[in-house]
Chains A and B, each alone.
Chain A
């Protein structure tokens, strides 16, 4: 008997077809990947299988039970991790676990064996509030909560988005271990290394299944989407000697805790500087100090020629900033958003309208000028957000995990924009959890425990640590962290 059977399932929201005649089966104990770009219909599929949504047409069976008529049976034998960490942030680790155990009419003691391997890693934080855990820890706790009642099928909807590479690897090791207990796992992920760890994957795009097969088959068949050819990046031949960021012995302490512990580095004009680190290594704090949002405890720094201690108002005028969370106003149109940000940076009306046309032209967005930003696909929003962040020609743009949650092809297009900006002399300071993107940078620093533990070009770092690619370099360094990862 198959653990999951999906027969010709369709689902529409109004006129939008989220799922269009989807059929696939997952064998018992299989690790099955459901991959595809943002908005492909993955979440709708999970919700149908978890009995949260009724399929429009078609039928789905989980463990032999119908998702429409036998809701109760299914609900007692599946574990589900929705995209967001479905934990109670104000309850402690232990309270969360106990609550979810009683929810499924079991106890932590009864289910302890099944979660021991995972829970032992977070048990020392059991009295800490879930909200105070790092991304990696939350994800492990959420997995424990989903596993404590020993489900036979586990649904994981992008469980590792926003989690650093080391934690992601550990997470998939855990999933592999679950396989031995015959638990069927259906997971989705934007990361290719995780796709490769599935036994079979289905590629879902615009509500349709484009292909099902082993990861290698799918990744080769859709190579133009998953494995786009590397971007040509003309090595910046004309080296600018001018430093736009200079930081010396920068420290930020919260009480006794040194979030950023004595870092020094320089970034040259037009350079693409990758700022890497595991969750909680201190990246965001460092970035906040550089952008003038936060005062350093000690140390000095100059950004775009201005002192980060005293001239943060000037700094704000000369930098661009784009974060994963805040990008654009969803209820304003494309043109209105551009106009707003132009206005914030005090540009003249003539400049704004001229540059708006240029920008829309370059992005081929002219037809969508008056569309609400909320109606655009995520990849487009990110491109637009980036273009808006450099709209006022800043000398530096700070990008905080700009490409979270999109597929490799879209990320590649995004990086073309970054190269374009760098060629125009804008320095790019970027953080990312995608190690293929790290390879695109001119120079990289890797933060571990608040200190910069390695810095150099990707080639130099690979050679220095004798690792085949950036992913291994990062894992090698991040594993040396002694500070608990949160």
Chain B
């Protein structure tokens, strides 16, 4: 036990004395949260809109007022022909145009949207929003209601995603690098030629990073709650418990990487490139899994953050009970046990 504690102390000292890495480890979550929360946002806001109409009847007036009153659209000008509106969009003076047919008032239909489709996702969203706003103009043809995220804030979506990405990166990358560093420096040889059990070396390596991961998790949750205003609907206890399983999974993955990698650079590349790409692309963090081609959907089925992010969205945003995330938790636990078993079996007590 004393050996174990002294091992952990040693490891903690390595971490604490490496000021730059510490700064990155804690700076990264904060910067990412601020970036995703404020700068990179897919929220629809202040879309520059041109209104194309030739008549000034009551109904058209009303629809335009609705658009202008919503926080999503800003009416920048009113022109007479669609041609002029297109020109405005082309010159980057406007993002979309709403064209009312001259007989809109009598037919109660005949609206066309001309949208800058350079960013198809955003264009799609603008159209949806505009339809919603205008459809409500004459009191409820369709009345849609957003559950859990009434203002459709993207932060609700990103906070769980950032947690999934960062915890995986920090745990897998840092454990693998710290083990490989000992191999490179030759200290691993001395550790192996000591009576200490290799399993203990590994567990002791993981403990400080487990603590670190919790610190990062807490930072993200606090920032999410108090800076970005993302609610924590579900039970904190369950959020932490599910996160613990996920962190253990990431640590085992790091251990597995350290078995393969022979240099710190290789460990870094393996964990950063090999892990980061699938996490960002295939975990459903940025792009919905349902709209991927089937092959990618199958691949995403083995990307662990996918389940963690899903579970966190349910627990944090929807505020459902643990009963609703049993499937995700079961898959994550299974993956953890599998990875841990493989990496412990593969850990070498000798040099080859």
Chain A residues packing against B (C-beta within 8 Å): 47, 50-54, 71-72, 75-76, 78, 80, 82-91, 95, 98-100, 102-105, 145-146
Contacts and interface: CB of A to CB of B under 8 A. Distances in A.
B17 A90 contact: yes
A103 B194 contact: yes
B187 A91 contact: no
Contacts of B349: 71
Interface residues of B, number: 24
B193 interface: yes
Given A90-B14, A102-B2, A105-B3, A75 B187 contact: no
Contacts, number: 78
B351 interface: yes
Given A54-B350, A86-B185, A99-B6, A91 B13 contact: yes
Interface string B1-15: 011001100100110
Interface string B182-210: 00011101111111100000000000000
Given A53-B351, A82-B189, 10 more contacts: A51-B350, A52-B189, A52-B193, A72-B195, A76-B194, A78-B193, A85-B186, A89-B185, A90-B14, A95-B10
B186 A50 contact: no
A84 B10 CA distance: 20
A194 B191 CA distance: 28
A146 B190 CA distance: 9
Contacts of A104: 194-195
Contacts of A75: 192-195
A265 B326 CA distance: 79
From A82, A83, A85, A89, residue with most partner B Cβ within 10 Å: A82
Contact of B189 (A72, A86, A98, A103): A86
13 contacts: A52-B189, A52-B193, A53-B351, A71-B349, A72-B195, A82-B190, A86-B187, A90-B17, A90-B18, A91-B14, A98-B6, A99-B6, A105-B3
Nearest to B188: A86
B186 A86 contact: yes
A102 B351 contact: no
Contacts of B6: 98-99, 102-103
A88 B189 contact: no
B14 A88 contact: yes
Contacts of B194: 75-76, 100, 103-104
B290 interface: no
Nearest to A92: B13
A47 B351 contact: yes
B109 interface: no
Nearest to B352: A53
A90 to B, nearest CB: 5
A31 to B, nearest CB: 20
B39 to A, nearest CB: 36
B14 A86 contact: no
Nearest to A52: B351
Contact of B192 (A52, A76, A88): A52
